[in-house]
Chains A and B, each alone.
Chain A
């Protein structure tokens, strides 16, 4: 597994502090989801934000929706509470493995970045599968040293989802 070190491309001027903050954000994101601390997940986004999951072929066509759409932190919190209290599903967990983050540019007050990911889903009875693989297309803002997602678009390579997606990717 390669280290998830934020890598800058030639187009971006990024301070070491910003790189560190972005790296921390990437790690906190997957750890919050994978280690059953989903309540921390919405805090990693700005109040008005965008979180979507759109399959690759659809994303390339510029489609408006995929399987999930949130445009504020309240909707993210609703995803968490619905999972905890409402929806019916066989219990399972995720394990994310993410690649190095490539910071592409700094524009409109945010860092544009992309990061590869793979998620393994493990069911309560023990079956494991590669559940999703793709990339994160992000816009990250940094305030007082803390990085947050203004936008995170999850772009799975497959347009197909196995059974259901109740835990965010």
Chain B
């Protein structure tokens, strides 16, 4: 007797040739000693053979004509159908009230972001004013900034 438990479901595995040598020997020993197991084996084998003897089934010709008339994914209607099914599944996963709550939450975040969060001060360097002040303080004509003063004012850089 090997390590595995000798259970009845080994009989199906036995007729399907799905047992290793040890288990197979154990089952055969049990079969030799038990008429009950032998009867179950006969029934399992008969059922299995019956299933395997069922004829193949085929679809009606018009079904295959429709299928073979075109690659299913080349058919726009099929594409739409696939997309629609996917959308439907997604809709089913997220209930409508969930979508509404999520939308309201997103809107609230945007509003709070605009209203409550302090905006950085806009820096508007009054370049014209600065250059004019500098020109007034420094000696005329000998530095680079002073020479720009007359140009800087009319260009309205301060606006």
Chain B associates with chain A: no
B interface vs A, CB < 8 Å? none
A interface vs B, CB < 8 Å? none
